[in-house]
Amino acid sequence: MAYLLISMLTVLLLALYLRQQTLQQQVYRLKERLDSLADVTGHVEYKSDYISEKLQNELKRLKKSGQPVQAVKHLREQTGMNLVQAKQFVDKL
């Protein structure tokens, strides 16, 4: 009985993992499509990696005041960027 339960849980977890991977791929393709449409229409503010001027100014202020970690954290909260991307962006400011 325990083996059956473990087998069922394993299958369920595998199915959930595969579904999550499929959804991540769909999101990636949608971001690419959105970026392409934003380029074609001239609306760069709709690109998935767009950072508003207001947010850039906030990040510069945090960085200049000796709070680069807070700047990275704020950028990640506002954009959903991963840690490496956010740190690289703040470092370039």
| pLDDT tens-digit map of 29-88 | 999 999 999 999 999 888 877 899 999 999 999 999 999 999 999 999 998 889 999 999
Q: Is the pLDDT of residue 22 over 90?
A: yes
Can you give the pTM of this predicted structure? Answer: 0.59
Distance CA 84, CA 72 (A): 9
pLDDT value, residue 49:
78
**Helices and strands in the chain: count of H runs, count of E runs:** 4, 0
Write down the domain spans for the chain. 1-50, 51-93
Distance CA 13, CA 4 (A): 14
pLDDT value, residue 50:
86
CB atoms within 10 A of CB 35: 16
pLDDT value, residue 41:
94
**Closest Cα partner for 82 from 55, 52, 48?**
48
Distance CA 56, CA 62 (A): 10
pLDDT value, residue 1:
84
